[in-house]
Amino acid sequence: MDTGVELCLPDVTTVWISELADVLLATRKDLLERTPTEIAAILGRVGECFLKMDHPLRREALELLPPTSGLSPQMARAVLDGMAADWTEDRLARLLQEELVDPGVLNTFLPREGREVMAVGPKLTVQIVAGTVPGVGVGALIRSLLVRSPTLLKPGRGDLVLPVLFARALREVDPALADTLAVVYWQGGNQGAVGSALEKAEVVTVYGSDETVSDLRARTPVTARFVGYHHRVSVGVVGREAYTDAEVEQVADEVARSIAFFDQRGCVSPQAVFAEQGGACLPREFARALAVALDRLEAILPGGYLQVHE
């Protein structure tokens, strides 16, 4: 499909990726001089720009997302709001606390359960992300930078816009921190570029189909840690207590939104919904209410264009 957006892509070669990885590795020394809390504050400043209604960064994202991701303008706006809500300074500070208890454990040894522990981020994280859901790439790069790991991110074709805009905005806010991040897209089938990136990584994170994850896992050196997010199918379950006569419409609206969000492409997008019998209305009646809710939602969050295989 002709999106009307012209993509200018670099000539990505094996040597170029190898040299880029070396540049990123060299930035780790400066990155280790920062605290995770400081990094979260800077990344949060950038992330919050996507939520400000009149900010140029948000406007550009909303202009480019529909033609590059396939989402409708209304869905793109809803997805951006949902994703960027997790990119604020408060959310990132909370993420550090939830994952590490005390983010200071990335800086020094701290007592924990009768021993001294310290967490150390990877020397280089390589992330290969699917393009199914826009925004996943930004979430991925944020997490690796928070643990002070230089990051090479290869986004999927449908998730080009947000990682590139985030990296560009980060350079305006903090050029030195931006030097620790590279967002590079190359066409599928560039085995040399992939192999060169994997060769330099200490941690490899891959989002994709079972075939993609399996292939890249096999190509990752045994000295690197591999984290794979493969194909998943989600279902919804509605208990009989959830759809009383008074609540059936509200519950149907909530289920409809879960189905429609991301154009049903997310790993948490229900592909089937099971309704328990024995409630105030029959499952068949709930199904009718859900169909009405989906029709109603189409006027608010219309679906985008589909690929042939979809």
In a domain, 304, yes or no: no
- Indicate whether 245 and 165 sit together in one domain: no
> Of 195, 229, 263, which residue sits at a domain end?
229
How far CA 45 is from CA of 51, 56, 88, 214, in Å, comes to: 11, 14, 7, 36
Task: For residue 152, tell me if it sits in a domain.
Answer: yes
* Residue 281, domain member (yes or no): yes
Is position 291 within any domain? yes
pTM attached to this predicted model: 0.93
User: β-strands 110-112, 115-117: how paired?
Assistant: antiparallel
Q: Are residues 47 and 155 in the same domain?
A: yes
Say which amino acid occupies 276. E
C-alpha 294/C-alpha 160 separation (Å) is 29
For residue range 4-54, what is the model confidence (pLDDT) as tens digits?
677 788 889 999 999 999 999 999 999 999 999 999 999 999 999 999 999
Q: Are residues 149 and 36 in the same domain?
A: yes
Tell me, yes or no, whether 23 and 165 share the same domain: yes
Q: What is the dihedral of CA 139, 28, 98, 173, to 10 degrees?
A: -60
| Domain interval for residue 188 | 14-229
Claim to verify: residue 214 and residue 247 sit in the same structural domain:
no
Reported as a pLDDT band with limits 50, 70 and 90, residue 3 is low
Per cent of the chain over pLDDT 70 is 97
Residue 36 forms part of a structural domain: yes
Overall number of domains in the chain: 2
Tell me: pLDDT of 308 over 70: no
